[in-house]
Amino acid sequence: MIIVGEKEVENKTVTVRRRFIKEQKELSLDGFSNEVLTEINERRVSN
């Protein structure tokens, strides 16, 4: 789940919460896109 509220807009970040994991991470937009691309590439390699 990606959260973009007033705080995130002000900080130019997104807050990310993964399914079944309570911990939330606040990431820059670049950081978020890098994490998504890394996860996609790792799944391609492992399949």
User: Total domain count for the chain?
Assistant: 1
Query: What radius of gyration, in Å, describes the C-alpha atoms of the chain?
Result: 12
pLDDT at residue 46 in the model: 61
Task: Render pLDDT for 1-47 as a digit per residue (tens, 0 to 9).
Answer: 899 999 999 999 999 998 888 899 999 999 999 999 998 998 876 65
Domain enclosing residue 22, as ranges: 2-46
pLDDT at residue 47 in the model: 55
Tell me which amino acid residue 4 is.
V
pLDDT at residue 19 in the model: 85
pLDDT at residue 9 in the model: 95
Cite the DSSP H helix spans in the chain.
6-11, 29-46
SS3 1: coil
Closest CA to 15 of 1, 34, 30: 1
